[in-house]
Structures are given as C-alpha cells and as structure tokens.
Chain A
Amino acid sequence: MEIYWVLGIPLFGGLFLALSGNRSNAPEINALFSFLTLVAAAVLTVRIVAEGPMMAGDSWFFIDSFNVFLVALTAFVAFTTSLFSRPYMRIEKEHGRLNDKRLRLYHSSYQIFIGAMLLALTTNNMGILWVSMEAATLATVLLVSLYRTPASLEAAWKYFILCGVGIAQALFGTILLYFAAEKVLGAGGNALLWTHLNAVKDQLEPTVLQLAFVFLLVGYGTKVGLAPLHNWLPDAHAEGPTPVSAVLSGLLLNVALYAVMRSKVLVDGALGNNMAGGLMMGFGLLSVVVAAFLIKRQTDVKRMFAYSSIEHMGLVTFAFGMGGPVASFAGLLHMTMHSLTKSAIFFAVGHATQSAGTQLMDGIRGLIRTNPTIGWGLMLGTLAILGMPPFGVFASEFLIITTAMHEHPWATPFLLTALGVAFASIFGKVQPMVFGETELPRLPHQPALTPVFMHLGLVLMLGLFIPPYLADWYRQAAALLGG
C-alpha cells in the first residue's frame, strides 16, 4: 500500500505544480510534496526491514532491501534538495536569471523526475525500468536548459542526444533479455518480471544474455557516467541550476547503476562466470582514472565536482564488479556516502557561486570571511568527499581498496594514483576558494545550509559508527547482489 503513496505523491505533485505553480509559495509546496514522499518512503522502509522483501500490485512492484535502501536515500536527498532550492531559486529570480514561468516548469519537472526515479527503483518489470529511466531523462532535459544560455542549451542537447542513444542500446539489451526469457517463461508480460527471471536465471540462454548485458551496461552505463561515455555529465551538471546538479549527481547516477546491478544478477546466474563483473571492473577503473586526471584541468567549480562524481561512480561500479560480500557492502556504503556528500557540496557550491556571481574558481575567494557557514560547508564537504577520516567516505573507500588489494592487486596502483591525483587537485583548488583574500559581498538572503550540515552530519556519523541494524540492512542488500 505504501508503495502507491511513494509513487503517487510525486506524480500528483508534478501535476499540481504544473497547473498551479505560478503562486509565490510554490517552493514551499514543492518541499511539502517532497516531505510527504519522504514520510511514505520511511514507512515503506520500516516495513521492508521488519517483514522482508515484498511484492505489490499483482507482482508489478518488487521491493527488497537493495532497492528500499535506494528509495529511502532518493526520497531523503530529494527532500533536502527541495529545502535548499527554496532560497536558492528565490535568489536566482532576484538576479533575473529566472522568471515565474520557468520556476513553474522547474518545480513540476522536479517532482516528476523524483517520481520517475522512484518508479524505476520499485518496478519489477525490466521494460518499465527502461521506460522510467527514459522518463527521468526527459523530465530533466528542460531543467538543464532552464537558464536558456547558449552553454546550457548545448549541455541539454548533449544530455538528450547522448543519453538517448545510450538508452536506446539499453532498450536493445532489454529486447534481447525478453527474447531469452520468453523461451523459458513463455510470451507475455511475466517474461520481463525481474523476480520471475531471477527464479529461472540458470536456464536462460547464456550467449544471448551475454550480449544483452553488454548492451544494458553500455546503455545504462552512459547514464551512470562511466568513461568513455561520460561526455554529457560535466556539461549537464555545470550548466543546469545547482539543485538539478545535486539531484542528477546524488540520485540519477545511483538509479542508473541500480539498473545495471539488477541485470548483472541475472547475467551472473545465467553465465556462471564473472564476465559481467569483469566488464564492470574495467569500466569502473577507467572512469576513476580518466576522471581523476580531468579534474586537474578544470576551472569551473561545478564541472570539477561533476568529474568527481564520475570518479566516485566509477569506484562504486568497480566495487560491485569485484562482487563478494565485502565489496558489495562497501559499494552500497559508498553509494550512500557519495550521494549525501556530493549533494551537500553542490548546495554549498551553489550559494558560493551566487555570492561570487561566477562559477569560475578564480573568481570565488575567501568564503570563510564573507560567508563563514558556506565556507565551512564547502571545506568540510570537500574533505569528506576526498576520503578524509573520520567521514564515512573514508570507511567505504578503505573497504573497497583493501578488497581490491586482496583480490585484484593489479588494480590497486591505478586506484591509489587516481585518488591521490584527485585529492591533490581538488584540495588545491578549494583551499584558496575558502581561505583566500576577498572583497566579495555577502548574500542578500539567508542561505539554506541546514541541508548541508544535515548531510555532512550523517556522513560523519556513518564514518564513526554504523548502527547495527543499518549494517544488517546493508549486509542483506549486499547478499542480494550475489555477495
């Protein structure tokens, strides 16, 4: 029952805000809908943790520990982002970069985007998974181009075309999956239900599934931002409004990786070897290395953190590719940490760019003097994402690297070099932004920094102490991934 609320609230919210989003309290309504979604997701989570996996709606929806964890994370970050976007978008409007009409589009698309991601996470049908991933892309295309600047239009166009082509590959993968499934399960809607496929995965034709996985990985991998398919990601993150960058980076990438993981479980069962894992490790490692060296060359702060997202998603993909209980656990933990930390960073960066009036790092200086809370938020967030203890990212990265040392020692030098390069370049660039000399003015509105410190507090807590029930939950989810 809760599942209908989880999906219904954002979709209704999207419609409602589309029809009557011109009012001045639309940002509050947006936050309210996000809050209700969060409550529904929390109720659903409590129930799954207590009662175990469940099917709903005539096996249309399937929820287990793995996806309910992502549902909770998605609803949480969506809520905090809506809190952040309230003052942020008001300031943008005062700066004349947005008007009421575009804000209405923004609020409505925001809710639909969240709804589409939640549908992708909870559906049991691999075809509907594809449909909702594409819907999530379409909902954000016009958000990336919200400012209507030449650069933002180009970014949105790239986003649409590259993700469109990518996701067309995923559709072909889904067709191949159905083709293999139909022989075992018979034609009709049931043949694409993940639970049904999972039950018969050892009977599926291995050669077809192998081909299907390649297409699914390339397709959904484009949306995860895996190198060399990552070109759309830095542009879309840098040119869109900051709340959109935060949800793209913190949530959409996770959902795309979720789709890959669901396919991987099936393929592993059918093939009985680690072909899928090997491919994911390769793509993951390449993304980590490529992103780390590109970070060094960035001048735009949002672009730099977008590349950092590619790096971290690569790390998670690598961890899932290694498989096994520890690596999968670490991957899930890192996914959570990255979502929370990276969205917190984008919140801080958003306000920092507003007060400086530029996204270029050379123009942002001395935040600690003019806006101390923003400065501290950015500094702590940066330290957290760079894997400094005692933040949670340290714990997950440590687990991933030690597992890699143990099982795939050849990969360790690449990982360590990349993490070192990323550390040096990001820290070297953020430090003067926070501590340098400045004459920048303060922000006119009180910035919304509660979400930043809420996220960082959670990351800190998880780094110091993971509550036993949470660890249990992660372990259950890791076991579902074939750990």
Chain B
Amino acid sequence: MTLSYHLQVVNLLAALLLLISFAMLSQRRIVGLITLFAWQGAALATSTAIVAWSTGQHHLYWSAALTLALKVIAMPWFFFRLVRKLDVEREVETMINIPTTMLIGIALVIFSFNLALPISQMSGTVTRSTLGIAMACVLLAFLMMITRRKAITQVLGFLSMENGLFFAATSASYGMPLVVEMGVALDVLVGVFVLGIFFFQIRETFDSLDLKHMEKLKER
C-alpha cells in the first residue's frame, strides 16, 4: 500500500520534470533558465531519493546526493556567478518561435512514449511507467539545444539532457552502477568548468556569447 503511495509521488515528480522541460523550452531569459534548471535537478534528486527509500536500493541515495550537490547547488551557483561576471544577466533570446517549438515538443513527447512502451513492458522496476517521460525530457532538451543561439543556453540544454538520461536510468533499472554514476558526474563537473573557461575565451574574442558570430566554418 505504501509502495503505491510512493509511486504516486514519483509519478507526480516525473510529471513535474516534464513540465519544467517545457518551461525551459519557452524561457527566454538566461537567469530564469538557470533557476528552472536548478528546479529540474531538485525534482530529479527528490524522485531518486523516494525511489531509493521505497525500494531499498541504497546506492540510489548516493545518486540523489550527487544530483543535489552538483545540479541543484554547485552548477546553478556557478552559472549565476558566470552570468554576473560576463554581465549577461538581462539578456534575452529573441530568435525563438515559442508556439511552434511547443508544438514540436508535444509531438516529441508522443513519440517518446511510443518508443518507451516496449522497453517499459520488459522492465521489472516499479517506476517503469516513467521511462517515457525520461525519454521525452531527453528529446526536449535536445530540441532546446537546436533552437537556441546562445552558448550558455545550449550548455544548459546539454545538462538538462543529462538530467533526462539519469532519470531514464533510474526508471528503467534503478540507476547505473555507482562507480559509473560517479564517473559521469565527474565528467559533467569537469565539462562545466572547462566551459566556464571557454565562455570567457569566446567573450574575449567575439565580445558576445551569441553563436551567430560562430558560423564561419562551413563547407563552401
């Protein structure tokens, strides 16, 4: 009985995750996007912790703690500092067509639910029904990376994709082996710092973080 109660909370959080993905897709302000990214991490960490508690998979606590430390606290803090230092706090993206993006997003959700159906039938986890949502989050993050023109927003899309993948791992097989999760988290952390350096280089050279300056290398 308690299991189904927990399950409902996990399902609620999964729905929240999907909602945040859509919100990120439509958010034009960079600062707002970082906040949403932190909330997405928080939803992910909470749902992982609840799955850990209700199924007795103790290594998932570590995974939840990692998500909380990195994606809710460290990275948003780092990004807020970065936008302040780069002085792009008030920047908005004007190029995106939100209604069309949303419609494509809905199509992607339907597609990923269909794709996930055969796999989740094979899965033995109690959380298998959320696999479709996890895949939808991955694809929506991908869509965000395609539609955005700014360096920081593309990276946030990339990290949000990572969130979706972690959620997929949790719902399909109660996460990956701990050492792999640690390794992935380390890579993501190093990657964000490398990009931090990189943003300053871009900014120094182009005087802006807009990727429209970076379309010179093409096949002619």
Say yes or no: A148-B177 contact (C-beta < 8 A), given A161-B145, A165-B142: no
Contact-residue size bin, chain B (C-beta under 8 Å from the other chain): 35 or more
* Complexed CA–CA distance, A344 and B124 (Å): 53
B109 interfacial by beta-carbon distance below 8 Å: no
* Complexed CA–CA distance, A109 and B204 (Å): 22
Mark the stretch among A10-18, A205-213, A331-339, A450-458 that contacts chain B: A205-213
Contact-residue size bin, chain A (C-beta under 8 Å from the other chain): 35 or more
- Chain A 149-178 residues near chain B, CB threshold 8 A: 149-151, 153-158, 160-161, 164-165, 168, 171-172, 174-176, 178
A404 interfacial by beta-carbon distance below 8 Å: no
B195 partner residues in chain A, CB cutoff 8 A:
160
Say yes or no: A127-B216 contact (C-beta < 8 A), given A135-B187, A175-B165: no
A208 partner residues in chain B, CB cutoff 8 A:
119, 122
B161 interfacial by beta-carbon distance below 8 Å: yes
The reply to whether B119 and A179 contact each other, CB–CB distance below 8 Å, is yes
User: Which listed residue (B184, B187, B205) contacts A138, Cβ 8 A?
Assistant: B187
A141 interfacial by beta-carbon distance below 8 Å: yes
Interface 0/1 of B42-54, CB less than 8 Å to A: 0000000000000
* Complexed CA–CA distance, A131 and B162 (Å): 13
B220 partner residues in chain A, CB cutoff 8 A:
297
B179 partner residues in chain A, CB cutoff 8 A:
125, 127-128, 189
A246 interfacial by beta-carbon distance below 8 Å: no
B142 partner residues in chain A, CB cutoff 8 A:
165
* Complexed CA–CA distance, A183 and B173 (Å): 9
B32 partner residues in chain A, CB cutoff 8 A:
none
The reply to whether B198 and A160 contact each other, CB–CB distance below 8 Å, is yes
A2 interfacial by beta-carbon distance below 8 Å: no
A142 partner residues in chain B, CB cutoff 8 A:
194, 197-198
Chain B nearest CB from A129 CB (Å) reads: 10
User: Which listed residue (A130, A157, A192, A235) contacts B202, Cβ 8 A?
Assistant: A157
The reply to whether B176 and A127 contact each other, CB–CB distance below 8 Å, is yes
The reply to whether B176 and A178 contact each other, CB–CB distance below 8 Å, is yes
A64 interfacial by beta-carbon distance below 8 Å: no
User: Which listed residue (A134, A161, A189, A297) contacts B177, Cβ 8 A?
Assistant: A189
Say yes or no: A128-B201 contact (C-beta < 8 A), given A172-B168, A179-B119, A208-B122: no
A187 interfacial by beta-carbon distance below 8 Å: yes
Interface 0/1 of A217-235, CB less than 8 Å to B: 0000000000000000001
* Complexed CA–CA distance, A189 and B178 (Å): 7
A189 partner residues in chain B, CB cutoff 8 A:
177-180
B183 interfacial by beta-carbon distance below 8 Å: yes
Nearest CB to that of A238 among chain B residues? B217
Nearest CB to that of A299 among chain B residues? B220
Chain A nearest CB from B139 CB (Å) reads: 11
* Complexed CA–CA distance, A141 and B192 (Å): 12
B214 interfacial by beta-carbon distance below 8 Å: yes
A444 interfacial by beta-carbon distance below 8 Å: no
Chain B nearest CB from A470 CB (Å) reads: 35
The reply to whether A183 and B124 contact each other, CB–CB distance below 8 Å, is yes
Nearest CB to that of A164 among chain B residues? B158
* Complexed CA–CA distance, A75 and B70 (Å): 35
9 chain-A/chain-B pairs, Cβ below 8 angstroms: A131-B183, A153-B205, A158-B214, A160-B195, A172-B138, A174-B180, A178-B173, A187-B174, A239-B217
Q: Residues of B at under 8 Å CB distance from A?
A: 57, 118-119, 122-124, 138, 142, 145, 151, 154, 158, 161-162, 165, 168-169, 172-174, 176-180, 183-184, 186-187, 190-191, 194-195, 197-198, 201-202, 204-206, 211, 213-217, 219-220
